[in-house]
């Protein structure tokens, strides 16, 4: 193995000759100092991005066809221009999405394909949304481990090698039964009991490690459960809070898979997407941390149903508990302390429970009026 030994020697020399090694950012691309066959050219260090490029980002969104990606692309395209935001996924996009702006196939497990996309499109910001969520992950641990952990490693290396600003969302699911639950601060014990949670703690720690070790501009928000009207959730424990609106409109009946008193932090999608843009645009010197909790409201199924019944008194809610989801929910925060985000970069939510319910109902109302007119 003489080649490996030579590479090993070179890597050691690079590491030893780097000033302040271990606490200063290294100025070499990550996979350049590894023995991976997936090597990049020597000019691909993270210092290659100029300021003008970061002022006008060229954005790639992975896992963009899920609950959050299409809305994020729409918002970012308004701000940075349609062609500066590329959506990607492994699924076939509906034609409305395909025709609304650039879409590209990208499997985050395919490192070379990812690198090609970043290079060919001169990407400067990467929003990494691909993941298997909590309930789906528990049903398929091997795939969740692969997508959420191996996939993240590819993303981190690509971002470090090409000087990208990287956003990776984390979740309330990154906490566990031994974390303080009401409220849950940014820094506390994190011992989640799902593969989803474990993979997200891993993402937080790896992103922060790459930030300190290689200077990667890693930014991470722990999202609460996200509620949206025009996109469906992807198999998480907070899905009921979206499904209740669809079922209420369709049949005035809803069967909830969590106990009526299960309190969880939640947020309307517009707040979530705006927070994502705000933290991505926050000046570096305002960020005292790289992973922040963000929150808007906290409610139980019973409280959500009561708020809905103020406008739809005919709504009937019954409960048929899904024990896997209930166990997950019982280990998650009931309330999120997001005071650091509010202090550092001015995070402020717009939607509380009454505004959320009103906005969701307005959306479905407008939709049914449009359907009636057609
Ligand atoms: N939606 C929420 O309530 C919520 C809450 C907290 C955190 N988050 C995080 O936000 C991100 C986006 O969430 P979402 O609700 O849109 O998720 P989602 O499950 O709806 O979508 C995830 C997308 O990832 C894609 N994907 C799966 N495997 C892939 C692969 N190998 N390569 C590329 N893409 C792949 C899927 O096709 C899917 O479109 C996730 O990382 C999630 O953990 C979401």
- Is 306 part of any domain? no
- Is 311 part of any domain? no
User: What letter would DSSP give residue 312?
Assistant: -
- What are the tens digits of pLDDT across the range 145-195? 999 999 999 999 999 999 999 999 999 999 999 999 999 999 999 999 999
- Is 257 part of any domain? no
Say yes or no to pLDDT of 5 above 80.
no
Alpha helices in 215-322 (DSSP H): 240-251, 269-281, 301-309
Determine the residue of 64, 66, 237 to mutate for testing ligand 1's pocket, defined as the one with the most ligand atoms within 8 A of the Cβ atom: 66
Question: Percentage of the chain with pLDDT > 70?
Answer: 85
> What is the domain count for the chain?
1
- What are the tens digits of pLDDT across the range 33-69? 443 434 443 333 343 444 444 468 999 999 999 999 9
**pLDDT score at 82:** 97
Q: What is the pTM of this model?
A: 0.89
- Is 313 part of any domain? no
Say yes or no to pLDDT of 331 above 70.
yes
- What are the tens digits of pLDDT across the range 181-232? 999 999 999 999 999 999 999 999 999 999 999 999 999 999 999 999 999 9
What's the domain range around 208? 25-228+267-296+334-351
Say yes or no to pLDDT of 327 above 60.
yes
- Is 2 part of any domain? no
Q: Whose CA is nearest to atom 36 of ligand 1?
A: 63
CA distance 100 to 131: 23
**pLDDT score at 32:** 53
- Is 40 part of any domain? yes
Per mean pLDDT, which range of 13-17, 19-23, 113-117, 285-289 is the poorest? 19-23
Confirm whether 223 is a catalytic residue.
no
Query: Which atom of ligand 1 lies at the shortest distance from residue 136's CA?
Result: 19
- Is 95 part of any domain? yes
Does ligand 1 come within 6 angstroms of the Cβ of 171?
yes
Could you tell me the CATH number of the domain that includes residue 136?
3.40.50.720
> Average pLDDT, stretch 68-93?
98
Catalytic pick among 111, 129, 196, 223: 196
Q: Whose CA is nearest to atom 32 of ligand 1?
A: 107
């Amino acid at each position: 193995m003489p080649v490996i030994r030579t590479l090993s020697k070179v890597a050691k020399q690079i590491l030893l000759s780097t000033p302040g090694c271990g606490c200063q950012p290294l100025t070499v691309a990550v996979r350049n100092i590894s023995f991976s066959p997936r090597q990049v050219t020597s000019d691909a260090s993270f210092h290659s991005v100029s300021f003008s490029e970061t002022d006008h980002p060229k954005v790639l969104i992975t896992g963009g066809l899920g609950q959050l990606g299409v809305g994020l692309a729409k918002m970012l395209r308004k701000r940075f221009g349609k062609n500066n935001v590329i959506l990607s996924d492994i699924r076939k996009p509906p034609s409305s999405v395909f025709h609304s702006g650039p879409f590209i196939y990208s499997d985050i497990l395919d490192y070379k394909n990812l690198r090609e996309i970043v290079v060919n499109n001169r990407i400067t910001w990467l929003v990494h949304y691909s993941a298997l969520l909590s309930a789906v992950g528990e049903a398929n641990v091997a795939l969740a481990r692969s997508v959420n952990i191996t996939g993240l490693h590819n993303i981190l290396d690509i971002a470090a090698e090409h000087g990208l600003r990287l956003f990776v969302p984390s979740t309330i699911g990154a906490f566990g039964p031994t974390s303080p639950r009401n409220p849950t601060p940014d820094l506390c014990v994190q011992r989640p009991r799902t593969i989803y949670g474990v993979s997200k703690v891993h993402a937080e720690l790896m992103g922060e490690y790459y930030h300190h070790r290689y200077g990667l501009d890693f930014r991470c928000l722990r999202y609460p459960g996200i509620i949206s009207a025009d996109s469906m959730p992807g198999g998480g424990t907070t899905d009921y809070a979206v499904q209740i609106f669809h079922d209420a409109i369709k049949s005035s009946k809803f069967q909830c898979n969590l106990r009526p008193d299960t309190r969880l932090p939640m947020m309307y999608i517009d707040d979530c997407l705006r927070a994502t843009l705000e933290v991505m645009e926050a000046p570096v010197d305002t960020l005292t941390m790289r992973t922040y909790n963000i929150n808007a409201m906290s409610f139980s199924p019973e409280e959500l149903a009561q708020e809905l019944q103020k406008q739809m008194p005919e709504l009937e809610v019954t409960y048929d508990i899904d024990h896997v989801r209930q166990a997950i929910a019982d280990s998650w925060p009931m309330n999120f302390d997001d005071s650091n985000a509010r202090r550092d970069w001015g995070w402020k939510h717009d939607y509380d429970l009454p505004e959320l319910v009103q906005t969701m109902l307005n959306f479905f109302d407008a939709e049914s009026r449009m359907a009636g007119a057609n």
